Amino acid sequence: MRRQIVIGYFMLLSMFGCNQLSTQKEFEVVSVEQAKHLLQKPKKIQLLDVRTPEEYAEGHLEGALNINYFSETFKDEAFKLDKNKKVLVYCKSGKRSSKSAIILKALGFSKIYSIEGGITAWKDARFECVK
């Protein structure tokens, strides 16, 4: 019985542990300060806002392209971006951007960053947004 519990534990650990490691390699979570630094070279990075159009209209980072994560055409629209350029993706809090980053990796993008805390953290740091 004890042996079965130990084997079951290691099976669960390997299933969830490997999944976590895989996710960590797919994209890099960056602070708002790191994101601001990345955006100092706008020709080398694509800025992607994955919030809804209504959220985007309330204020967004300058130069951000809006592709709604919830849209049925999200993958098709994202596929049109330059896969050879870095992508910095954000949403409201970081959840949709993390999910989007995984999709971008599956679409063939190689260097993807997600802003930790999303635009909420950006605003909390008193960084500028545009309407």
Residues assigned a catalytic role: 91
CA–CA dist 114, 53 (Å, integer): 19
Strands 112-115 and 28-30: parallel
CA–CA dist 50, 58 (Å, integer): 13
With both helix axes pointing from N to C terminus, report the angle between 2-26 and 95-106 in degrees, rounded to the nearest 10.
80
Give the tokens for residue 40. 């100092």
